[in-house]
A and B are shown apart, each in its own frame.
Chain A
């Protein structure tokens, strides 16, 4: 009996600890998550820095002709990606070559973009900012433009105690906003934390089991991603001839390998894959069960076919929907800042 009481008290204590968050300034994450890869002590996230980054993220001033902002291809309601566009477009209707990635839990990534060409969160924004088919601007010119606007001079002063605008500070501000885009309040998270609202149905439980057996080696909990590059068996789109990671490493072993993206909020981040070829999750699952192309660099995990019955596919889909975090997708702190209209 005594043993049972001890276990019960221990359990309660454990649960109360599980609910705790790690907090570094205003950057928070669940205590049971791995330590972030990004070192927030180098760029502590403050309310002022976050708001500066938020204004920059939503301001088309970052593009050459002031028409495209980061948010143009990274919409909050779709998990900060570009819904309904297989390939993202930039200024003057120019079309890119890849599907925009969702922005979430970025502090746990050690590289960015589908090919991992970017090695640090702070310099990630430089890629779309300078790409000819995206914002086609230079950081130098962004600094010049911002420097003429008193709204930004004030915001930089608040964030850095100095109104001097530099390229580094533009990037650090954007990083602070991006660092806050963390999602860990989906039904799945509540299920793991045994919180109210996290009660799984039998179908969802079965879907989780199927997920763990078939998908989790690459889309690993709790981030549902790994910092790895895999060839997931997609046929080459000959209109793009995109060989992914190989472009960066110049190593044929990396041919057709792309970053393993997170599956969090996957219900809303369509279309799917690096070239946005699949419109629905059903198509994605069917690819993994029936469409995998055998190639030399194919991921080991996919060499053995994934076999799922129709019922199992449905269960898996139902589980994937538990990764939706509406508190994140509709959090007003991450939406367009009215100050850009009222104060700028």
Chain B
């Protein structure tokens, strides 16, 4: 009970918002399927791919947070599905399907969410579940979440063992790295497939010059701009 207060209060809020929010009943399932790919191919660990720039590339880690889902409702209001921070691991099947409880009377329109963790959550101390620092997505020396990790190797990288390491994070101005995404959905649509094409990211990074970003700052912010281009719906 004691240390769980945060969890309990979060759950309480979650239940409260699930039951009612401006009179909306959150009782319909909406599935978000995440499909990591490299161009048209399903993304596999330690499998060789070739980028548009001719680099041979392998991936060891592709992980990212998606948060703050919002659905458009009738009367031009929005339903925010709170307390949903989802850690997606491209190589962990069970993280590739997320079911949200959403309002029945939503209208067609948009689904919005954020790529990354908000500043508020980044300043909230020790959190649980997908936000537990044991997930390895938290910077210890400078508090804050790593919104996205893309790691692998390429002979193009002039680094030890040809590794590239992109840890995109940081929430403070002038270089916050959280980004918003928005996709249209139909009125009766009950699922969405989110295609995450890592090739889009690697095609625009010169691995000879840019292969290691592991701190917040301008470089991380530019990579965050690039990272949103990976996302599309099917």
Q: Which residues of B contact A119 (CB under 8 A)?
A: 122-123, 143-144
Determine whether the beta carbon of A166 is less than 8 Å from that of B134: yes
A293 at the interface (CB under 8 A from B): no
Known: A43-B6, A44-B5, A161-B1. A120 touches B134 (CB 8 A): no
Q: Report which residue of B5, B138, B140, B144 has the largest number of chain A beta carbons within 10 angstroms of its beta carbon.
A: B140
Task: Give B170's nearest chain A residue, CB to CB.
Answer: A250
Please report which residues of chain A, range 115-144, place their CB below 8 angstroms from some CB of chain B when the two chains form the complex: 117-123, 126-127, 129-131, 138-140, 143
Determine whether the beta carbon of A44 is less than 8 Å from that of B2: yes
Q: Which residues of B contact A43 (CB under 8 A)?
A: 2-3, 5-6, 125
* Chain A contact residues, CB within 8 Å of chain B: 41-44, 46, 48-49, 117-123, 126-127, 129-131, 138-140, 143, 159-162, 166-169, 171-173, 175-176, 248-250
Determine whether the beta carbon of B134 is less than 8 Å from that of A140: yes
CA A11 to CA B56, docked complex, whole Å: 81
CA A44 to CA B4, docked complex, whole Å: 10
CA A137 to CA B125, docked complex, whole Å: 20
Task: Give B123's nearest chain A residue, CB to CB.
Answer: A119
Q: Which 7 A-B pairs have the closest CB atoms?
A: A122-B125, A167-B134, A171-B126, A126-B140, A122-B126, A119-B143, A120-B125
B99 at the interface (CB under 8 A from A): no
Apart from A43-B125, A49-B3, A173-B3, what are 6 other A-B pairs with CB-CB below 8 Å? A123-B125, A160-B4, A166-B128, A168-B128, A168-B132, A176-B3
* Chain B contact residues, CB within 8 Å of chain A: 1-6, 122-128, 132-136, 138, 140-144, 172, 217
Determine whether the beta carbon of A139 is less than 8 Å from that of B134: yes
Known: A117-B142, A250-B217. A42 touches B125 (CB 8 A): yes
CA A40 to CA B26, docked complex, whole Å: 32
CA A103 to CA B125, docked complex, whole Å: 18
CA A189 to CA B46, docked complex, whole Å: 63
6 contacts between A and B (CB under 8 A): A120-B125, A126-B133, A161-B4, A166-B128, A172-B3, A173-B3
CA A49 to CA B1, docked complex, whole Å: 11
Q: Which residues of A contact B140 (CB under 8 A)?
A: 123, 126-127, 129-131
CA A250 to CA B217, docked complex, whole Å: 8
Q: Which residues of A contact B144 (CB under 8 A)?
A: 119
Contact of B3 among A123, A160, A249 (CB under 8 A): A160
CA A164 to CA B4, docked complex, whole Å: 11
Determine whether the beta carbon of B2 is less than 8 Å from that of A175: no
Contact of A143 among B4, B125, B127, B134 (CB under 8 A): B134
CB distance from A1 to the nearest CB of B (A): 54
CB distance from A244 to the nearest CB of B (A): 13
Interface of B: prevailing SS: loop
CA A123 to CA B141, docked complex, whole Å: 10
CA A117 to CA B128, docked complex, whole Å: 21
Q: Which residues of A contact B132 (CB under 8 A)?
A: 166-168
Q: Which residues of B contact A130 (CB under 8 A)?
A: 140-141
CB distance from A156 to the nearest CB of B (A): 9
Known: A123-B143, A139-B133, A140-B134. A172 touches B126 (CB 8 A): yes
Determine whether the beta carbon of B141 is less than 8 Å from that of A127: yes
Q: Which residues of A contact B217 (CB under 8 A)?
A: 250
CA A140 to CA B191, docked complex, whole Å: 33
Contact of B143 among A117, A166, A168 (CB under 8 A): A117
Determine whether the beta carbon of A131 is less than 8 Å from that of B134: no
Q: Which residues of B contact A176 (CB under 8 A)?
A: 3
Q: Which residues of A contact B3 (CB under 8 A)?
A: 43, 49, 159-160, 168-169, 172-173, 176
CB distance from A112 to the nearest CB of B (A): 9
CB distance from A151 to the nearest CB of B (A): 18
Q: Which residues of B contact A41 (CB under 8 A)?
A: 5
CA A138 to CA B132, docked complex, whole Å: 12
Determine whether the beta carbon of B2 is less than 8 Å from that of A48: yes
Known: A130-B140, A162-B4, A248-B142. A123 touches B126 (CB 8 A): yes
Task: Give B143's nearest chain A residue, CB to CB.
Answer: A119
Q: Which residues of A contact B135 (CB under 8 A)?
A: 140, 167
Contact of A46 among B2, B124, B138 (CB under 8 A): B2
CB distance from B181 to the nearest CB of A (A): 26
Q: Report which residue of A129, A169, A173, A175 has the largest number of chain B beta carbons within 10 angstroms of its beta carbon.
A: A169
Determine whether the beta carbon of B133 is less than 8 Å from that of A121: no
CA A162 to CA B128, docked complex, whole Å: 14
Task: Give A142's nearest chain B residue, CB to CB.
Answer: B134
Q: Which residues of B contact A131 (CB under 8 A)?
A: 140-141
Q: Report which residue of B124, B128, B143 has the largest number of chain A beta carbons within 10 angstroms of its beta carbon.
A: B143
Q: Which residues of B contact A44 (CB under 8 A)?
A: 2, 5
CA A44 to CA B5, docked complex, whole Å: 8
Determine whether the beta carbon of B2 is less than 8 Å from that of A118: no
CA A239 to CA B123, docked complex, whole Å: 33
Determine whether the beta carbon of A160 is less than 8 Å from that of B2: yes
CA A172 to CA B127, docked complex, whole Å: 9
Determine whether the beta carbon of B2 is less than 8 Å from that of A120: no
CA A41 to CA B5, docked complex, whole Å: 8
CA A162 to CA B7, docked complex, whole Å: 13
